[in-house]
Chain A
Amino acid sequence: MEYLFPIRFAVGWMFLDGGLRKAVLKPAKLDPNSSSFVGGKLVNFLPHAGPFKPFLLMTLENRALDVSFLTVFSYIEIIAGLFLVIGFLTRLSALAALFMSVGFAPAYWLGSTCEDEWQIGALLTAGSVVLMLTATGRVFGVDSLLYKKFGDRPLSKRVPILNMIKLW
């Protein structure tokens, strides 16, 4: 389990860095009135987005939805990324990382020098699954304290699907 720390840090930092760049280091990226607004990137995904195209178009044509979606996405990146790095609520954070990794599949076709976006997405998807299944925060992470004190805890004990999603 100790050997998995580099993967936990790498996956966590990819998301933390991505979120910090947008929300903290250059807030203009989330300002719809700025030329740096990242909403413009969603336009680039359109030509080969396949089944995701209708959702992208709906988001782009609804300015409020576009801004809200990108803002929420950026903050989830920061929270999930930070939690993975410090090993806090690792399995839940890894599940969020998994959704985000799969969620940017509309961009997988972009990569003018190599298969850039797809390679990033594929590695983050595999990494997130490994972190989610192995509960790596229980070693070198805050989850080690939580696990010692509370044992194994699901998102909900009563709801059938949620009881399969573990917090740490």
Chain B
Amino acid sequence: MDRTVVIALVFGILVMGFILGTGQWAYGNVVGPLVNYSKLPKLEITYITAKEQGNQTMLIMNITDVDGPDAYPASAPLMEIYNSTWHVYLNSSEIANYTIKVIQAPWNENKKDYVNWYTGFAIVLGSEAQFQMLLPIHLSPGTYHVKLYTPALSEKSMAVASFTIS
């Protein structure tokens, strides 16, 4: 076979494999299932703990954004703390007011995660931060859940995590 044909076939097959392989990996567009991870944000609570401080509760959460667009941060303007018999909602102003410290992950670069009174938590895609909140709530011993509400997401896609007060 002509050398040019062999080279063309080899590179042609390599490029085909690369395009089909990366397309399947990123979007599932060869054999499915179709995905697009950068359409909707998805917050995750990767660590959570809480302890009583007098009549208040110190809640520490690591939050990251693993899906969604890269142009602007994901937000969670509403937060719910609940167990089987009780619950409380914290709105964006309360989230901002009760957050006393934000520690950025070492890879966060120039785009920082933050809280403010109108978005609540704001998390840049791929970044992670620890939010330390001093809540003016006394929690009796037991297991509680935290849910972060993100606009435009269905309830099953909200970030949820559990902690125990002993």
Contacts and interface: CB of A to CB of B under 8 A. Distances in A.
Interface of A: 32, 34-35, 37, 39-48, 50, 57, 60-61, 66, 102, 105, 108-112, 115, 118, 121-122, 125-126, 129, 133
Nearest to A127: B15
Interface in B7-26: 7-8, 11, 14-15, 18-19, 22-23, 25-26
B68 to A, nearest CB: 8
Given A108-B25, A129-B15, A44 B125 contact: yes
Contacts of B111: 35, 40, 43
B125 A118 contact: no
Report, as a range, how many residues of chain B touch the other chain: 20 to 34
Nearest to B69: A112
**A47, A112, A118, A121 — most chain B CB neighbours (10 Å):** A47
Contacts of A48: 26, 37, 66
Contacts of A112: 36, 38-39, 68-71
B108 A115 contact: no
The DSSP consensus for interface residues of chain A is: helix
Nearest to A110: B38
Contacts of B25: 50, 108-109
B117 interface: no
B110 interface: yes
Given A37-B110, A47-B126, A125-B18, A108 B26 contact: yes
Contacts of B109: 37, 39-40, 42-43, 60, 66
A126 B19 contact: yes
Contacts of A129: 11, 14-15
Contacts of B8: 133
Interface of B: 7-8, 11, 14-15, 18-19, 22-23, 25-27, 29, 36-39, 65-71, 106-111, 124-127
A116 to B, nearest CB: 8
A111 B15 contact: no
Contact of A118 (B15, B22, B70, B110): B22
A108 B29 contact: no
Given A43-B125, A45-B126, A118-B23, A111 B36 contact: yes
A32 B71 CA distance: 19
Nearest to A42: B109
B107 A60 contact: yes
A46 B126 contact: yes
Contacts of B7: 133
Given A108-B22, A118-B23, A126-B19, A46 B107 contact: yes
Given A111-B36, A115-B27, A122 B22 contact: yes
A109 B19 contact: no
B126 A121 contact: no
B110 A32 contact: yes
Nearest to B7: A133
A57 B64 CA distance: 15
A40 B7 CA distance: 40
Contact of A47 (B23, B37, B110): B37
Given A109-B37, A115-B29, A129-B11, A44 B70 contact: yes
